[in-house]
A = this chain, B = another copy of it.
Amino acid sequence: MHLSMDLNSTINAGNHEIVITNDVNSLLKGFLNNPGSSFSSVFVISDENTNQQCLPLIKKSLPGFRNIVIGAGELNKNFHTCNVVWEQLLQAGADRKALVINLGGGMVSDLGGFAAATYKRGVRFVNIPTSLLGMVDASSGGKTGIDLNLYKNMVGLFAFPAIVMIDPVFLKTLPEKEWRNGVAEMLKHGIIADKKLWQSLSDEINNSSNATLDESSKNKFISLLLASVKVKADIVTKDPFELNERMYLNFGHTMGHALESYSLKNDDVPLTHGEAIAIGMICETLLSVKLCALPVEVMDEITATITTFFKQYRIPKNAYQEIIQLMKADKKSENNLMTFTLLKNLEAPVLQKGVAADLVLEALHFYNLLRK
């Protein structure tokens, strides 16, 4: 990776700012030394991986910080881990003027944000995303939380970071799987709100050999970070608490979250969030054709790009009912009826309540039929 681009953008996300930079150390120092901040202590929450790979890159800007390291991976995003964080804050004497820095992917910022927002009824926190997924999605917007029995994000609250600091330097050590994980959300942003972004990503995917991601593709994705972050920031600014248009960001997620939970429970190598969302987007694209008159050519375009970029997965037929049940537990469900964000077209998402189970089954089956 050359990271030759000069990145320096501040994006307003309503309740918080997102800064994209090539120099997270300067940004961090400036933030900590701002006389208005007056933090009594600084805690860094990282996971086993980011503690080794990412913390060394910013350590010099963090005099006297305390280190809280949690287990990596979605399976650790639970109340046991949260309790460990609370106890370490308490034992270290963190008061209400403490600052928590979440250094990691979405799992770290989701759990760390929740822990910070509930410790002593809330201390301030900063997100420094280290994964592409964290950068384009999880680190901004104020959704914090933990999973419950592998049901995704069932416990949580809206709590906004003091600032989000995005520096692609952390991506240097990011495993390829994690790149794809992030690109899934970038594709979603393009599909629901930015045709150009969608086209650029789609072109890159369709014109590259995707068996292994090369530097050129990675740099292309980095160059599209800003556009992707902007889609989310604009929507969150308009509707921070997800009463209306923020639900559009859930495209692919009603089915994706259910598949992700199913896979976490049943597969030795579970689907990543992005892989699950990618399948969810294909299924929900079919629902969009059936229910919202999405042109079939658009469905074909979306389906082709996604199947080119993400590995195939077999959804076992005998798991269909379990997956439907998982969807019914989705936070957007009401009175046992499933809610989806579907598409009338690119850049034209629409909320669809009360979708019947047989159509959902058909969509799962449709995905399975796509397998070559």
A155 at interface, CB cutoff 8 A:
yes
A98 to chain B: closest residue by CB = B334
- Say whether A305 faces chain B, with CB atoms less than 8 Å apart: no
A97 touches B154 (CB 8 A): no
Query: A26 at interface (Cβ–Cβ under 8 A)?
Result: no
Does A87 lie within 8 Å of B40, measured CB to CB? no
**Can you show 16 pairs from A to B with CB atoms below 8 A apart?**
A79-B79, A79-B83, A83-B148, A87-B149, A90-B149, A93-B329, A95-B331, A96-B334, A97-B334, A117-B157, A118-B118, A118-B145, A121-B143, A121-B157, A121-B158, A122-B157
Known: A90-B149, A90-B329, A117-B157. 12 other contacts (CB 8 A): A40-B335, A79-B82, A79-B83, A86-B155, A90-B151, A90-B154, A93-B328, A93-B336, A95-B334, A95-B335, A121-B156, A157-B157
Within 8 A of B (CB), among A110-155: 117-122, 143, 145, 148-149, 151, 154-155
Tell me how far the C-beta of A301 lies from the nearest C-beta in chain B, rounded to whole angstroms. 34
Nearest-Cβ distance from residue A283 to partner chain B, whole angstroms: 22
Tally A residues with Cβ within 8 Å of B.
Answer: 35
- With contacts A93-B328, A157-B118 taken as known, whether A148 is within 8 angstroms of B333 at the C-beta atoms is no
Q: Which of chain B's residues have a CB closer than 8 A to the CB of A328?
A: 93
* Minimal Cβ-Cβ distance residue in B for A158: B121
Cβ contact within 8 Å between A148 and B86: yes
Q: For A119, list chain B residues within 8 Å (CB).
A: 154-155
Residues of A33-49 at the interface with B, using a CB-CB cut-off of 8 Å, are 40
> A333 to B97, alpha carbons, bound, how many Å?
9
Instruction: Say what secondary structure dominates the interface of chain A.
Output: mixed
> What residues of B have a CB within 8 angstroms of the CB of A122 in the complex?
157
In the assembled complex, the Cα of A355 lies from the Cα of B191 at a distance in Å of 59
Please determine whether B331 and A87 come into contact, CB atoms closer than 8 angstroms. no
Instruction: Give A179 Cβ to nearest chain B Cβ, in Å.
Output: 29
B87 touches A121 (CB 8 A): no
Give the residues from 152 to 182 in chain A that come closer than 8 angstroms, CB to CB, to chain B.
154-158
Give the residues in chain B near A334, CB-CB below 8 Å.
40, 95-97
- Contact indicator B40/A118 (Cβ below 8 Å): no
- Chain B proximity mask over A63-97: 1 for CB below 8 Å, otherwise 0: 00000000000000001001100110010010111
Return chain B residues, CB-CB under 8 Å to A157: 117-118, 121-122, 157
Instruction: Determine how close the nearest CB of chain B comes to the CB of A240; give it in whole angstroms.
Output: 12
Q: How far is the CA of A333 from the CA of B120 in the complex (A)?
A: 11
Minimum Cβ distance to chain B for residue A11 (Å): 23
Say how far A21's CB is from chain B's closest CB, in angstroms: 30
Which residues of A (323-348) have their CB < 8 Å from a CB of B?
328-329, 331-336
* Contact residues, A301-333 vs B (CB, 8 A): 328-329, 331-333
Give complex CA distance A40, B87 in Å.
36
User: Do A87 and B148 touch across chains, with their CB atoms under 8 A apart?
Assistant: yes
The 8 Å CB contact of A118, one of B95, B120, B156, B329, is B156
From residue 265 to 323 of chain A, which have CB atoms closer than 8 A to chain B? none
Distance A96 CA – B157 CA, assembled complex (angstroms):
13
